[in-house]
Amino acid sequence: MKKKLATVWLGGCSGCHMSLLDIDERLLEVAKLADIVKSPVVDGKEFPECDIALVEGALANAEHEEEIHVIRRKTKVLVAFGDCAVTGNVSALRNAIPKDVVLKRSYLEVPGTVGGLIPNQEIAPLIDRVRPLHEAVKVDYYLPGCPPSADLIFHVLFELLHDRAPVLDQEKLKYG
Ligand code: SF4
């Protein structure tokens, strides 16, 4: 029976998902083994029950904090997908700066935003400190890289889709 696979994009740049697409024709092998029940292009209001979820990005706002708990509850195997999910990485660079300064800079000071407003309803409020997934929920596997290489992503997916634990040796962990 096919596994149910979800991919989720939280506080990240989507580069990890781009790298997933770089597995190219091997996507067909994944498609034989799994149904994509949720992804940035297979959207739905509710997060569905699934066997495997690749979660890109750190927890950066209140919505991410809620979402990750729902994902954890409904997912058998949760994978921290990429360095932002694993360590906070690029997303956590703002932790050194108070969030009101970050918002002011982003919405009021950079070219094209002068005279604008800091949205307080349309976007989820930033949390004080960006954090990696494992600080909020149990993570089953870590898939490092910024982004992880397509080969590494395929290896991890392929093993998990066969109910095997992926082995990340030094060679596979090469960034690239
Ligand atoms: Fe983007 Fe790198 Fe973070 Fe992936 S790990 S979301 S590629 S910054």
pLDDT recorded at residue 128: 93
> Which residue out of 8, 13, 20 has the highest number of ligand 1 atoms within 8 Å of its CB and is therefore the one to mutate?
13
Mind listing the pLDDT tens digit of every residue in the chain (176 residues)?
Answer: 999 999 999 999 999 999 999 999 999 999 999 999 999 887 777 899 999 999 999 999 999 999 999 999 999 999 999 999 999 999 999 999 998 898 888 888 887 776 678 877 677 889 999 999 999 999 999 999 999 999 999 999 999 999 999 988 766 666 55
Using CB distances shorter than 6 Å, the residues near ligand 1 are: 12-13, 15-16, 56-57, 82-84, 89-90, 146-147
User: Looking at residue 121, what is its pLDDT?
Assistant: 66
Whether omega for the bond prior to residue 166 falls within 30 degrees of 0, making it cis, is: no
Task: Count other Cβ atoms within 10 Å, centred on residue 2.
Answer: 11
* pTM as predicted: 0.92
Q: Is-contact 126 99, C-beta < 8 A?
A: yes
Per-residue confidence (pLDDT) for residue 107, from 0 to 100: 85
Tell me what pLDDT residue 171 has: 66
Q: What is the structure's pLDDT at 96?
A: 94
- H helix runs in the chain, sequence order: 15-21, 26-33, 62-74, 83-87, 99-104, 150-161
